[in-house]
Amino acid sequence: MTRGLLRAAAWLLPLAALLYLGFALSDLDLSEFGSYLNSRVLGVACIVALLYGAGLYLLAFAWSACLQKCSRNPVSPEAAVQLYAFATFAKYLPGNVFHYAGRQIAAARLGYGQKAPAQATFLEILGHLAAVGVILLALLPFTLSGLAALLSLAGEQLRPWVFAGLLCAVAGIVFLWLSPKARALLPSLDIRLLSFVGLLQLSFFALVALLGVWLAIPVLNLPQEAMPLIVFVYLASWLIGFVTPGAPGGLGVREACLLAGLGGLADPEAVLAFAALTRGAFLVGEALFSVSGFLFRPGQEVSAQSRPSATAR
């Protein structure tokens, strides 16, 4: 039943997001939308792309640390970071999982086996959810009144997305609880590793929040007291896009959530410009990060003697 729900969600949720965006775009004044993309804003977006691309190394180092901990074979940290960078842009292929599959295949070919890369990726996904959740909880006291106002203004638009997000969360929790394979991916508890990886994950998403605010200031033109609410809605939109199966890189879902969530704060054209700028800047940053993988010169990788046998994999 859980698999059936996930398959249905993989088709229906991205389609619903695209339909919502299509209807929203039909009501917008695209000439006014272009006025928000001035040279100053585009210059900020270029800097944001560079900083975001550099920030992705925080996630790469966290995944590499998990891979080294979970693997029984010698691991080259440089090789792990390199293959993480190479696989990053594959998230935009249909299915939203090809960057994970690419890492898995590349790591296995380097001799790290199958289980260790899967465990490292599983810990990364849990780290994403935990880090964003911690930031959202920290922002909640500063956004309660604003969230109440947004919900009253955009209740009809937000209600299906809240329902969809809760449905995906429940399906994911049930899958993890009932699946022995998922439980087997949890490595032995290591407080130092979890602390290190948690710090890197929190640092990355704090950077993402700051970069989003930097782009929001000139585009949305909102008072400073609204910044915590913008960060909250932006990270919540990222989280919904992340957990939505089938949406490549949350494409369409994140933008739809931003339009629904911020429509009560600013003009829809401004919100659309903000969504397009953040998506474009982060796309460029991810592309630069992927290309930067060629700059790495991995040290000694897993030797042929230490590689696990086919049965061990």
* 32 and 264 Cβ atoms separated by less than 8 Å: no
Q: Where are the domains of the chain?
A: 2-292
Which pTM does this prediction carry?
0.78
**CA–CA separation, 9 and 168 (whole Å):** 8
pLDDT of residue 153: 47
Max Cα-Cα span within the chain: 64
Residue 246 DSSP symbol = B
DSSP string, 177-240: HH-HHHHHT-----HHHHHHHHHHHHHHHHHHHHHHHHHHHHHH---GGGHHHHHHHHHHHHHH
Q: For 25-56, what is each residue's pLDDT tens digit?
A: 666 666 676 778 888 899 999 999 999 999 99
pLDDT of residue 92: 76
Cα atoms in the 13 Å half-sphere on the side-chain side of 158: 18
Closest residue by Cα to residue 79 from 309, 289, 290, 302 = 302
* 272 and 23 Cβ atoms separated by less than 8 Å: no
Cα atoms in the 13 Å half-sphere on the side-chain side of 38: 7
Q: Two tokens at 81?
A: 């970071």
* 243 and 165 Cβ atoms separated by less than 8 Å: yes
pLDDT at 23 over 70: no
Beta bridge partners of 246: 95
Q: For 63-113, what is each residue's pLDDT tens digit?
A: 999 888 888 776 677 888 888 888 887 787 766 677 888 888 888 887 787
